[in-house]
Every structure is written in structure tokens, then in C-alpha cells.
Amino acid sequence: MSAHLAEPKRTWRAGRQVTALLGLIVGVFGAAGSCAAPIQADLMGNAFLAALDNAGISYSQPVTTMTLGRSVCPMAVEPGGTFESVTTAMAERIGIGRDAAEAFTIVAIATYCPAIIAPLLPDRLQA
């Protein structure tokens, strides 16, 4: 009978260990989920900066440049937003020439909101 009494105690310990393990797993996945968005944002920012480098557009402050790049999409989709209006705004904000502002705007759109390339530039994408 004493062996039978030890059995429930062992089950209780095992149940406690399983509960602790499940809590740990939930915590790890919760932490990983909360880190996924910043990591994705950083990857997109790095891709944006690399594309600017490839386009020959220089910048001195990467974080500010990424913020400006992310601001292109909301400007493009607001009422009256056109490629020309966004390009003009970027040229004024950054203090660069029209050609560089066009390249900056195209790179930003291609990186952060590629779905609006065709509607925004229909006459420029003809083969």
C-alpha cells in the first residue's frame, strides 16, 4: 500500500513540471512573437538602405533615411497623392535634386509598398 501512496505524489510532481514547461514554452513563443515585427522592420530598412546604395543615393543618417522612406507610402495613397507630388515632397524634405528624389521615391515604394507601383506609375511601366 505504501507504494500506492507514493504514486499520486509522483504524478503531482510530474504535473507541476509539465505546467512549468508549458509556461516556459508559452513565454518563449510570446517573446519571439513580440520580437518578430521589429526584426522584420529592420530587415526592410536594411533592404531599403542597400537599394539606395545600389541606386547611388547617399545618406548620412540611416535611421532618418529609413523614416523618410517609410513616409512615402502614406503620402502616395492619400487623396491627390501622385508620384510627382511625393517626389517633390521628398526633394524638399531631403534637399536633393529631382532625379535623386525620383529614385528615392521609387526605391521606397518598391521596398515598403510594392503593390502601389503599377497604379502610381502606369505610364512608366509599359514594356
**DSSP per residue, 49-64:** HHHHHHHT---S-HHH
1 by DSSP, 3-state: which?
coil
Over 90: is that where the pLDDT of 23 sits?
no
Phi/psi-derived region of residue 80, left when phi > 0, alpha when psi is between -120 and 50, beta in every other case: left
More confident residue, 28 or 98: 98
pLDDT digits (tens, 9 = 90+) for 74-119: 999 999 888 899 999 999 999 999 999 999 999 999 999 988 887 7
Over residues 34-38, the mean pLDDT reads 49
Question: Average per-residue pLDDT in the chain?
Answer: 77
Q: Grid coordinates standing for 78?
A: 492619400
Confidence of residue 11 (pLDDT cuts 50, 70, 90): low
DSSP class of residue 124 equals: G
Q: What pLDDT is stored for residue 43 in this prediction? A: 85
Over 90: is that where the pLDDT of 15 sits?
no
Over 90: is that where the pLDDT of 36 sits?
no
Q: What pLDDT is stored for residue 20 in this prediction? A: 53
> What's this model's pTM, rounded to 2 decimal places?
0.64
d(CA 65, CA 7): 65
d(CA 35, CA 30): 9
Q: What pLDDT is stored for residue 42 in this prediction? A: 77
